[in-house]
Amino acid sequence: MAATVRLPTVLRPAAGGATTLTVEGATIGEVLISLTTNYPAMRGQLLNDDGTLHRFLNVYVNDDDVRYLGGVDAPVGDADEITLLPAVAGGSLG
């Protein structure tokens, strides 16, 4: 399986400026591991050390947030478009 991955502005330098990539993987976890293998500068920005999704990364398969589709186990097909966007969060807490 190879899906199209749309990268946010902040991750493009790690991929030589590319806005979209074609990445191998049958699940979101496999796709993200392929990305960090091919583009080591993304390491630490996609997955935690335990293989779970980074807290401040939003991952979508087509129109759906993968947190509602099984997280890293969410299946990915050839026709799927995966979008990565940094979570937008913060607050007055210390």
Query: What is the contact surface with other proteins in residues (CB under 8 A)?
Result: 8-10, 56, 58, 60, 63, 65, 67, 83, 85-94
CB of 66 to other proteins, least distance (A): 10
HEC sequence for 22-88: EEECCEHHHHHHHHHHHCHHHCCCCECCCCCECCCEEEEECCEEHHHCCHHHCECCCCCEEEEEECC
Tokens 């997955």 correspond to what residue?
47
- Residue 41 vs 87, nearer CB to other proteins: 87
- Residue 17 vs 94, nearer CB to other proteins: 94
CB of 83 to other proteins, least distance (A): 6
DSSP secondary structure code for residue 2 in this structure: E
CB of 93 to other proteins, least distance (A): 4
- Residue 24 vs 86, nearer CB to other proteins: 86
